[in-house]
Amino acid sequence: MPEPERQSNPFVRIFAFLASYGVAAVILTLLLILTFLGTLEQVDHGLFAVQERYFNSLFLVHYFFGILPVPLPGAYLLMVLLFINLVCGAIIRSPKSWRRPGMLIAHSGILLLLLGGFVTYRYSIGGNMRLYEGEASSEFESYTGWVLEIVMVDTPAGSDALVIPESDLADIAPGETRTFHSDRLPFELEISGYGKNTSVEPMLGSHSMIAVDGFYLMTLPRDPEEEQNVAGAYVTVVEKGSGKRHEGILWPLEAHPYTVEIDGIDWAFLLRRPRWTVPFTIVLDKFTMEKHPGTNTPKVFLSDVTKIEGKSQEQIKIEMNEPLRYKGYTFFQASWGPQEARPGDRLFSVFAVVRNPADNWPLYACIVITGGLLIHFCQKLLLYLRREHQRRPAL
């Protein structure tokens, strides 16, 4: 009797469990609950924080009614489990036959959709590029996060600047100083007081904060909208030869970056958003914005840009729902500013820039799923019609 033997095999039982409809139903139900709870949480905690906590996590604790802690699996873990469940149940276990390819194709499409989500999460980058008319850029910067860039003021374009990632700054404990060094630098950097949301304020009282040239770094409560937070830190530049120390404050909204002259060379220290370079240049030739009559609501805003790559130039119009797609990068017309601009003021255009290797995978997945379902339903229809035809007595 082979059947009981197979059931006693623990691997078979594990496989059967992973491939079961029950597991699929539980995972889908939990994803539904997470989506609901995460959507509600966004009201108080902002999009970024909720995405990190509910959708990019393995586990989380949700406080029902603000007081009752309930541990839940994160959406990341659930989608990995769903992928395994589909592979086991819908691909490996399901009967494979050229006579019934529909469901196999449809499930393959769902797997492609999940895989696309994973590739997007792990490998896509997104940010924005802001240009005034006449300005050019080949970089876009992240909406969140900070890096400390150390560069010679006279560094020519194309050479390298040293960069300290935020992960090396964010875990500096209060009261702790971290030293950063490089053989390429004639100094070391001592960073302290790193805050995720700060402002630089004039030192007007006598409270016991560190002050640099009459200013100090004030720590502010963290804004739920991650993009609104402005990091800051104290920096001390220690010259390697003489040990001479230069103190400053790093703050992204400064009018000019902190600079120090060492041995006749000016060094700049910029706390800024992470940036990525695109292999071409975008020049904003003209920005057009029209408002609905009598309102401040924009009716249309579009950007006439020139894409320059080597010696070739191409005039392109970017507007809402008509992005520029080139070399894996997509430029969407996102916004414009300044919002308080008066007629005649110089405006800038903001492009949301995305590089996503799986950019079109959801489209492909939907086509595959649609095709699979069409095949399946057509087969079912044909089967039904054939049976009806056979059942009907011959006249």
Partner 1 sequence: MRVHANYTPALVCLILLTAVLVGCADPQLRREITQTQTVSPHRKAIRPGATSNERFGLVLTPPGMPRTDSFLQWQTPEGWKAAPASNMRLINFRVGPRGEAECYVTILPGAAGGVAANVNRWRGQLGLEPISESDIAKLPTLSLLGQEAVFVSLDGNFSGMGDTVPQKDYRLFGLIGENQGHMQFVKMTGPRKILEAEAENFAIFCASIAPASPNNTGEERTTAVLKDQELGWSTPVSWRPVDHPSTMRLATFACGADPDVECYVTVLDGDAGGTAANINRWCRQLGQQPLAEDEFAALRRVTVLGQPSPLVTVSGDYQGMGGETQSGALMAGVVCVLPEQVLFVKMIGPQAAARAQIDNFVAFAESLQMRHFHE
Instruction: State the minimum distance, in angstroms, from the CB of residue 140 to partner 1.
Output: 11
CA distances from 205 to 198, 210, 347 (A): 18, 12, 40
Answer whether 350's CB lies under 8 Å from 140's CB: no
Which amino acid type is present at position 187? F
Closer residue to partner 1 in complex, CB, 167/321: 167
The DSSP string of 252-305 is TT-SS-EEEEETTEEEEEEEE--EEEEEEEEEEEEEEEEEPTTSSSEEEEEEEE
Based on the shown chain and the rule CB under 8 A, indicate whether residue 7 belongs to the binding site for partner 1.
no
Q: Which is nearer to partner 1, 71 or 264 (CB)?
A: 264
Spatial separation of the C-alpha atoms in residues 316 and 307, rounded to whole Å = 7
Longest dimension (CA), the chain: 109
Applying CB under 8 A, does 255 fall inside the site for partner 1? yes
Q: Is 77 in the site for partner 1 (CB under 8 A)?
A: no
Which of 40, 153, 170, 300 binds partner 1 (CB under 8 A)? It is 153
Q: Which is nearer to partner 1, 259 or 379 (CB)?
A: 259
- Smaller CB separation from partner 1, 192 or 356: 192
For partner 1, give the closer residue by CB, 9 or 179: 179
Contact (CB, 8 A) for 243 and 190: no
Interaction residues for partner 1, span 156-215 (CB under 8 A): 156-165, 168, 176-182, 185, 199-207, 209, 211-215
Cβ at position 157, least distance to partner 1 in Å: 4
Give the number of residues in contact with partner 1, rule: CB under 8 A: 71
- Name the token pair of 216: 């100090």
**Binding string, residues 266-285; x marks residues near partner 1 by CB under 8 A:** x-x-x----x-x---x----
- Please name the residue that has the structure tokens 């006749």: 264
Q: Which of residues 324-343 bind partner 1 (CB under 8 A)?
A: none
| 130/57 Cα distance (integer angstroms) | 31
Told to check if 79 binds partner 1 by CB under 8 A, we report: no
**83/140 with CB nearer partner 1:** 140
Binding flag, residue 149, partner 1 (CB under 8 A): yes
Q: Verify binding: residue 38, partner 1, rule CB under 8 A.
A: no
Q: Identify the CA nearest to 277 among candidates 328, 320, 230, 324.
A: 328
Part of the chain binding partner 1 (CB under 8 A), chosen from 73-81, 92-100, 145-153, 290-298:
145-153
- Distance, CA of 135 to CA of 126 (rounded, Å): 21
Residue 281 CB, nearest approach to partner 1 (Å): 7
Q: Which of 138, 144, 236, 379 binds partner 1 (CB under 8 A)?
A: 138
Select from 81-89, 136-144, 296-304, 349-357 the region that touches partner 1 (CB under 8 A). Answer: 136-144
Residue 135 interacts with partner 1 (CB under 8 A): yes or no = yes
DSSP bridge pairs for 351:
129, 333
Helical pair 75-86 and 102-123, crossing angle rounded to 10 deg: 150
Task: Choose, by CB under 8 A, the member of 44, 139, 290, 322 that binds partner 1.
Answer: 139
Q: How far is the CB of 145 from partner 1 (least distance, A)?
A: 13
Alpha-carbon gap, residue 258 to 270, rounded angstroms: 7
Other C-beta atoms within 10 Å of 37: how many? Answer: 17
92 interacts with partner 1 by CB under 8 A: no
Distance set, CA 209 to CA 72, 89, 206, 256 (Å): 41, 62, 8, 23
Which stretch of DSSP H or E encloses residue 120? helix 102-123
Regarding 256 and contact with partner 1 (CB under 8 A), the answer is yes
> Should residue 73 be labelled a site residue for partner 1 when binding is judged by CB under 8 A?
no
258 is a site residue for partner 1 (CB under 8 A)? yes
* Choices 76-84, 103-111, 148-156, 387-395 (CB under 8 A): range interacting with partner 1: 148-156
The yes or no reply on residue 8 touching partner 1 (CB under 8 A) is no
Residue 95 or 156: the one with the smaller Cβ distance to partner 1 is 156
The CA distance from 185 to 163, in Å, is: 12
